[in-house]
Amino acid sequence: EEIKNLFTKELRGREEITNYEAELRRAAKMFFVEKDDKVEVIAGYPWFGRWGRDTFISLPGLCIGLNDMNLFKKAIDTLIGDMSQGLFPNIGSGERSAYNSVDAPMWFFWALQKYTEYTGKKKQVWKEYKDVMQSILRNYRDGTNHNIRMLDNCMIWAGEDGKALTWMDAVVDGVPVTQRKGMCVEINALWYNAIMFSLELAQESNDKEFMEEWEGIAERIPDEFKSTFWNKNVGWLADYVDGYYKDYTVRPNMVIATSLKYRCVSDKICQLVLDRVEKELFTPFGLRTLSPTHRDYHDVYEGNQQQRDLAYHQGTVWTWLLGHFVEGYLRIYGDCALDIAERIYNGFRIHIKDYGVGGVAEIFDGNPPHNSKGSISQAWSVAAVLRIKHMIDMYRQEKEGGLK
């Protein structure tokens, strides 16, 4: 009888799969695991568990697609329970947490920003999360684990020998495959966005003390960011900077600097970045992690564990980056960007039936035909496709509203 009741309850909760978007929503729902009033987001099936970074990047797309902000809050609050010294667990939970992620706390601000935009609850968000937000910002400013700290130029520096602290985290024989120790472009773009978003909420709640503490830093960052990462003779942003060394390898991380609400660079620089990304990194299923013109480019993701790790962020295509590419593209190109956004969204219609049925793969080969690889259904891949659909719908609504 108990099994019968559970089966009946499950059937009631299921949505009839009648169209493409409904399939994506069903996939989104499968990533949430509830236990003891806590909610975790599984990064991907069949072998991933909870990842902090992936959770924050995935939540806006998954929860907006499901129209369920309660799930969003529960997942955020669950991770906050494991926060330590301004850092969230990259993997694991409780005593088994590993805090080797410089970007997860920055993505926390971005996720909360999307939640606030969707719900409009600025004062409530500040009341509930100010202490957490302030703790992260102060830890990054004053210094925390893994040499994460703010330099005199207000940029965030992070890194340790043998550690890969950003999402490009493959390590082979104790050495990061993608060297990024120093000031990373997306970390500092997210850092500025985090401070500005916090100031936006503080202003709404008339929190003058917080504003006085952070306004000076916020005012300095755009100029410092530009002088650190931009080179007009190159025409795009450096991927990372360490001392006098600036790495201008064409990678997709710079696209995040174009997609955020609070950006450090001008529309013209954003346009140049997007054009470079489109020319060298764009594919129908995601962005390549390295330009095909680079000597270290891997055209396919295959082989033994070491060979796959060497290719993981050295040319392999990742779908989650498309959400930021489309967001930046819509900001800069407006109506002209709608066509490419719709083509990207519709391009996954066939894919969700031919690899992991109903899901979106973790990665794809860098070269055509861009075969699906990795996990059969990845949270931030599904989230990106759902978020692209939401951006298309919102852009149309705003345009129609403006014409009335």
- Structural domain including 100 reads 19-403
In a domain, 82, yes or no: yes
Residue 334: both structure tokens together: 């407006």
For residue 400, name the pLDDT band (cuts at 50, 70, 90): confident
> Is pLDDT above 60 for 306?
yes
CA dihedral 62, 71, 362, 185 (to 10 degrees): 80
**Cα end-to-end distance, the chain, whole Å:** 57
In a domain, 67, yes or no: yes
Tell me the per-residue pLDDT of 345-381, one tens digit each, with 9 for 90 and over: 999 999 999 887 889 999 999 999 999 999 999 999 9
In a domain, 4, yes or no: no
In a domain, 106, yes or no: yes
Mean pLDDT of the chain: 94
Q: How many structural domains comprise the chain?
A: 1
d(CA 276, CA 171): 28
Closest CA to 211 of 195, 189, 188: 195
Q: Cβ neighbours of residue 346 under 8 Å, at least 6 residues apart? A: none
Residue 231: both structure tokens together: 């080179």
Q: Is the Cα dihedral 366, 372, 374, 375 positive or negative?
A: positive
> Is pLDDT above 80 for 404?
no
In a domain, 113, yes or no: yes
d(CA 384, CA 322): 7
> Is pLDDT above 90 for 392?
yes
What mean pLDDT do residues 81-86 have?
Answer: 95
pLDDT of the residue at 357:
82
pLDDT of the residue at 85:
96
Tell me the per-residue pLDDT of 222-276, one tens digit each, with 9 for 90 and over: 999 999 999 999 999 999 999 999 999 999 999 999 999 999 999 999 999 999 9
What mean pLDDT do residues 320-342 have?
Answer: 96
Tell me the per-residue pLDDT of 35-53, one tens digit each, with 9 for 90 and over: 888 999 999 999 999 999 9
**CATH code of 210's domain:** 1.50.10.10
> Is pLDDT above 70 for 197?
yes
pTM summary value: 0.93
> Is pLDDT above 80 for 90?
yes
Q: Cβ neighbours of residue 335 under 8 Å, at least 6 residues apart? A: 399
In a domain, 304, yes or no: yes
User: What percentage of the chain has pLDDT greater than the value 70?
Assistant: 95
In a domain, 329, yes or no: yes
Backbone angles phi, psi at 144, to 5 degrees: -145, -160
d(CA 319, CA 50): 19
Closest CA to 342 of 16, 15, 20: 20
In a domain, 12, yes or no: no
